[in-house]
Amino acid sequence: MDQLLPSEGESENQVKLISEMTPSSKNKRKRRRKRQKSSAARLKQGHVENPSAHTISVIRPPDKSIEPLKGPFTYKTSILNDRGKGMIRLRGHRETGKRWSTEIPTEMAVRMVEEGAAGIISPGLIHKLYTKTDFRLLVLQRDHYICHYCGRFGDTIDHVMPKSKGGLSTPANCVCACAECNLKKADSLDFVYDDFI
């Protein structure tokens, strides 16, 4: 027996038979319903009532714990050798698992290894230790989601030495910050300590 089902935007007079629907349109409808249900559930979990009577959105800390990577790497920068090219090959992988590689200046490679963002595989090759997502989680968990500048809850990453001034995205250069302090600092060096420069 065929069931009658009205589609979106159609009046009751215009009705499609379920048996006439293609499998892909059935699946699309199922996926759409699933997404709507899951997004509604996430909104319920993510909002908490504030004592001051207005609702704020809360970002929950992730369930998985990220620890600094140990592996077949060395961190002695003295073995890096660019063979006169001035460039060292950097490789890594994305969250999707896809691998990538590029060439970076030797000075930048040395700083990445010294500041804990990369490990040396061979004299002309270094490997980036963290994906962007894992790196963000590492810094936030290391700082216990507490803003480095004001001590309140922080959920953004701030480069102490700004990227525009030559700072790298390394564990030594990044700290947890609240959105307000991150915007206030911007690319200034006001918060940079003398021993950091």
Each domain of the chain, given as residue ranges in start order, spans 77-129, 133-185
H-only helix segments in the chain: 23-46, 106-114, 132-142, 179-185
DSSP 83: T
* Order of strands, sheet of 99-105, starting from the edge strand that comes earlier in the sequence: 99-105, 87-93, 125-128, 118-122
CATH topology assigned to domain 77-129: Ubiquitin-like (UB roll) (3.10.20)
Q: Tens-of-pLDDT digits for all 197 residues of the chain?
A: 445 555 555 545 445 555 555 666 677 777 777 666 665 555 555 444 433 333 333 344 444 444 555 566 666 777 788 777 889 999 999 989 899 999 999 999 999 998 889 989 988 999 999 999 999 999 999 999 999 999 999 999 999 999 998 899 999 899 999 999 999 988 888 766 554 44
**Sign of the torsion angle spanned by Cα atoms 96, 164, 112, 79:** positive
pLDDT for position 53: 36
Gap between the Cα atoms of 181 and 149, Å rounded: 7
Residue 3 in tokens: 């069931």
pLDDT for position 128: 92
pLDDT for position 109: 92
CA 100 to chain centroid, in Å, comes to 17
pLDDT for position 57: 39
pLDDT for position 103: 95
pLDDT for position 23: 63
